[in-house]
Amino acid sequence: MPARASTGRRIPRGLHPVAWWLWAAGLAVAVSRTSNPLLLAMVLAVLGYVVSARRTDAGWARGFKYYLWFALIVVAIRVVFRSVFASPVTPDDHILFSLPRLPMPGWYAGVQLGGPVSLEASLSAALDGLRLACILCCIGAANSLANPKRALRVLPGALYELGVAVTVSISVAPQLIDSVRRVHRARQLRAGRRAGVRGLRSVAVPVLEDALARSLQLAAAMDSRGYGRTGTASRASRRLTAALLLLGVVGLAAGMYGLLDNTLPAAFGLPVLLAGSLLCCGGLLAGNRRVSRTSYRPDPWRAPEWLVSGSGLLCAALLIVAGSVAPAALNPSLYPLSWPPLPVLPTIAILLAATAGVAAPPPPARLPVAGRPVPARTRVAA
């Protein structure tokens, strides 16, 4: 195993995408176990640090701030909803202000609008929202750190066609946007903006016809280059592979849900996850045997990958343990209203996840393009 030089320069390379996803999944599991605002804020800080330290300059890597904005919107929506829809108020609550009650018709009597808005209710909504937002940011961090297309290339041979379909659809989005911009500009030459269905039709029809023509060209090109060779796999073996994979993926999803949701019994999460992974492996092995396809320069899995994924998964494990050892600190009660405690074990666990920012090799730098600062994307700009 190549040694990681502690003093010398490390060779910049991109980390294996699965390592980043495992790290992010571990953090997401950890976040789902706590509603302590200090811990959640620490997780956000860790995410921000790792993303800014290890993200590349490519276009897809710059989206993390949109996830943060989205997180803010989620929290705001939660607070607003809790304020608008009346919730039971206990005598201990600190009332902030009172919204006028709106009478609801008899058939909708279960919901009440308006009423007093208490600090505890708003805080509880905010913390819930913050937890959800942190999970979203974990996924956003994984998307910003690992090129989604390279992540799809890692898919084993049996899932290859699925991966290609997703890859192609990811590339279609910028082309569609380009097409819409071009057609919208061309509309100025004919009749300007038209409201309503007519106007939409005059933009949508050329764009869709364009998209259809391009997709046919792409399909012809891929066919001519050999995509879709089935090798020697027989129909029955392909059906078996597909069935095993489908069941396995369902098992994985159910197991993951069981781990993230702590209202379900502990016996549900882990065993279902393991069963699902076994089925998946079986399906992949069955599929791989017959598929003839090689991979160009696959990402290696070395020490940094182990360290990064290990730190995320260890963080999740430590928080699950802390949840059974000292649950009160992880989910502090709002009554009485006081400053939340900072438990030691979860803090260490989250800081451990932050070491991924150091363990991962520095990202490869893109050499600046001499001359044109703006890419000549299509012939539109020239």
Q: 132: closest CA among 81, 73, 87?
A: 73
The beta-carbon contacts of 153-158 under 8 Å, at least 24 apart in sequence, are 153/295, 153/298, 154/16, 154/17, 154/18, 154/298, 154/299, 156/284, 156/287, 156/288, 157/284, 157/287, 157/288, 157/291, 157/293, 158/241, 158/242, 158/245, 158/283, 158/284, 158/286, 158/287, 158/288, 158/291
Site string for another protein, 141-180 (x = CB under 8 A): --------x--------------x--xx--x--x------
Instruction: Work out how close the CB of 102 gets to another protein at its nearest, in angstroms, rounded to a whole number.
Output: 45
Site for another protein in 42-71 (CB under 8 A): 58
- Regarding 196 and contact with another protein (CB under 8 A), the answer is no
Relative orientation angle of helices 17-32 and 235-260, to the nearest 10 degrees: 40
Q: Which residues, 6 or more positions from 137, have their beta carbon under 8 angstroms from its beta carbon? A: 44, 47, 64, 67, 68, 71
From the list 74-82, 214-222, 249-257, 335-343, the region that binds another protein by CB under 8 A is: 214-222
- Regarding 375 and contact with another protein (CB under 8 A), the answer is yes
- Regarding 197 and contact with another protein (CB under 8 A), the answer is no
Using CB under 8 A, count the residues that bind another protein. 59
Site string for another protein, 271-310 (x = CB under 8 A): ---------------------xxxxxxx------------
Instruction: Work out how close the CB of 280 gets to another protein at its nearest, in angstroms, rounded to a whole number.
Output: 23
- Cβ-based nearer residue to another protein, 214 or 238: 214
- Regarding 224 and contact with another protein (CB under 8 A), the answer is yes
Q: Which residues contact another protein by CB under 8 A?
A: 58, 149, 164, 167-168, 171, 174, 182-183, 185-192, 201-203, 205-206, 209-210, 214, 217-229, 292-298, 366-367, 369, 372-382
